[in-house]
């Protein structure tokens, strides 16, 4: 019985064509190549996301813009209030 097990081990026989072995090899190489390009694309996208998070509009930016617009509005209201009394007096 032990002798039969030794002869029944898995082996590649002559009935497997070379084309099938070559096809498996090419599929493996293709899968590795695909995975490598996918990894490169993911790394590039992660760099782009990191760049976007650095350039995002923060709350501090919004507060600064709000203060600037408030100052500009005050300046324009002051100009209008200086000009309007002169127009009323002229009529």
pTM, 2 dp: 0.42
Where are the domains positioned within the chain? 1-56, 57-91
> Taking the alpha carbons of 40, 43, 45, 48 in that order, is the dihedral positive or negative?
negative
- pLDDT, tens digit (0-9, with 9 covering 90-100), for 6-35: 666 666 667 888 888 899 999 999 999 999
pLDDT band at 51 (very low <50, low <70, confident <90, very high): confident
Helix (H), strand (E), coil (C) string for 61-73 = HHHHHHHHHHHHH
Task: Give me 59's structure tokens.
Answer: 């709350």
Torsion, Cα of 34, 36, 39, 44 (10° steps): -100
Residue 40 CA neighbour count, 13 Å, CB half: 6
């Amino acid at each position: 019985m032990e002798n039969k097990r030794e002869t029944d081990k898995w082996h590649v026989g002559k009935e497997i064509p070379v084309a099938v072995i070559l096809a498996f090899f090419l599929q493996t190489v293709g899968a590795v190549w695909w995975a490598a390009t996918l990894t490169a694309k993911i790394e590039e996208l992660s760099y782009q996301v990191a760049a976007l998070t650095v350039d995002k509009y923060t709350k501090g930016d919004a507060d600064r813009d709000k203060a600037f617009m408030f100052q500009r509005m005050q300046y324009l209201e002051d100009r209008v209030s200086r000009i309007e009394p002169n127009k009323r007096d002229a009529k």
